[in-house]
Amino acid sequence: MSARESSLDTVQRELTAFARRARAAAARMHPELSLVAYTILAHLEEQQGCRATDLAAYYLLDKSTVSRQVASLEQLGFIERRVDEADHRVQVLHLAPGGIEILTAARARRQESIQVRLAAWDPEDLERFARYLVRYNADAAVHP
């Protein structure tokens, strides 16, 4: 096996292992907010004015799944749905005050956890790791 194949193999294996643990880890960190819910709220914070269809496309979810998640998040008072005036089929999603609050709390707990976990990392390693992850996800979006 070449060095390149070996690296690819490692990347695949480690990412798979990570993905497998992520859901349970998220549930432990913030039981009140599932990984999907957390992700949607974080996405809405980044990109104010998101449509449900965009979320479905980005996270590879069925539109019905997103529809239910959104309905649930709205009922909990975490997000608001505003009908787009230009296109009455579209609902534009926004964070509600309650959503901002719980997102902030959940993220703080996640950050605390990751800070402990990566405390021993050099700043350069951390920065490079972050860049690699961004690049990987960008590549994954192009070659799904």
Residue owning tokens 């992700």: 39
In the set 19, 60, 120, 141, which binds DNA (CB under 7 A)? 60
Check residue 1 for interaction with a second copy (CB under 8 A).
no
In sequence order, the 6+-apart residues with CB closer than 8 A to the CB of 80 are 74, 93, 94, 95, 96
Check residue 16 for interaction with a second copy (CB under 8 A).
yes
Check residue 36 for interaction with a second copy (CB under 8 A).
yes
Q: How far is CA 2 from CA 7, 25, 136, in A?
A: 9, 34, 21
**Of 3 and 86, which CB lies nearer to a second copy in the complex structure?**
3
Write out the residues near DNA by the rule CB under 7 A. 23-24, 27, 34, 36-37, 51-53, 60-72, 81, 87-91
